[in-house]
Amino acid sequence: MDDLGLDVDDDDLNASTPASKFVKLVSSGDHEFIVDRDVVMASSAIARMLNGPGQWGETVGPMPTVRFENISTPILQKVIQYFYYKARYDNVESDTPLPEFDMKMEYVLPLILASHFLDC
């Protein structure tokens, strides 16, 4: 289990894994996050890059890779945590209380900017 609380085995990431199962997101600090493709679709911008018409550079190679030169490692990590939070709680009945999505106050503005850029 990694620092995001994800349970991804090395076997899940071998060369025979379909490219559509995972996506690599790279922060401005060159930190690489391997994320479930279904989960990153919470971002309309990433979904358009991966599924849109044409041959995007992000879709070339064994695993789709999206680089974010303007999103730092801690902010991208928090965005990914939100993607998993959203995937887990999106279909919960409205009368069920949801746990808070915690964040540091200094992350608020950068997260707003990142969420606007990512359209999520």
The C-alpha angle 51, 46, 113, rounded to 5 degrees, equals 160
pTM, 2 dp: 0.78
Amino acid residing at 66: V
% the chain with pLDDT above 70: 78
Non-local (6+) Cβ contacts of 41 within 8 A are 47
- Tens digits of residue pLDDT in 99-116: 999 999 999 999 999 999
- Which domains are seen in the chain, by residue range? 10-118 (3.30.710.10)
